[in-house]
């Protein structure tokens, strides 16, 4: 593989994933930062994200956290998928709120990983906690050139 830094590899993985990430783009999610085993993504809550109570539907909060999980666990240029995920909703999210999901790797061993994701509002209040378990499969997110 090329001799690039882990941070640059993570960025290239994110760029490659973003090209095909129609779901995140459609929902208005932005990738703020990525690094080895980490990612931060953001989404502003608009009318299309609201449930029948006028609050953000939990599925959209889950999707934001799940996307941060995906970018974090795919940062090593090995295709990695979710094998399990759970979320705890802590407080409601209002229209107009700007949410940031920050993923961090807890453990990565062999083909499996564990990642914790906090979803916060701009005032720093945690609105949800997500834990995802990943599994690496065949393939890479982008082609790395081999050193000669």
How confident is the model over 97-126, as pLDDT tens digits? 999 999 999 999 999 999 999 999 999 999
Task: Note the pLDDT tens digit of each residue in 34-81.
Answer: 999 999 999 999 999 999 999 999 999 999 999 999 999 999 999 999
Determine the Cα angle at 1 with ends 71 and 114, to 5°: 30
Radius of gyration of the chain (CA): 16
Beta strands in the chain (DSSP E): 30-35, 38-44, 80-89, 98-109, 112-121, 126-136
Cα–Cα separations (whole angstroms), residue 53 to 50, 121, 145: 8, 19, 51
CATH architecture of 6-136: Roll (3.10)
Report the share of the chain in percent with pLDDT over 70.
96
pTM to 2 decimal places: 0.94
């Amino acid at each position: 593989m090329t001799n690039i830094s882990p941070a640059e590899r993570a960025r290239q993985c994110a760029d490659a994933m973003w090209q095909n990430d129609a779901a995140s783009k459609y929902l208005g999610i932005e990738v703020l930062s990525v690094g080895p085993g980490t990612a931060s993504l953001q989404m502003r809550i608009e009318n299309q994200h609201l449930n029948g109570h006028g609050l953000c539907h939990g599925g959209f909060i889950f999707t934001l956290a799940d996307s941060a999980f995906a970018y974090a666990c795919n940062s090593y240029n090995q295709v990695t998928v979710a094998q399990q995920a759970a979320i705890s909703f802590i407080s409601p999210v209002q229209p107009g709120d700007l949410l940031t999901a920050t993923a961090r790797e807890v453990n990565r061993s062999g083909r499996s990983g564990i990642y914790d994701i906090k979803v916060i509002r701009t005032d720093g209040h945690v609105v949800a906690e997500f834990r995802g378990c990943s599994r690496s499969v065949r393939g890479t997110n982008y082609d790395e050139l081999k050193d000669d």
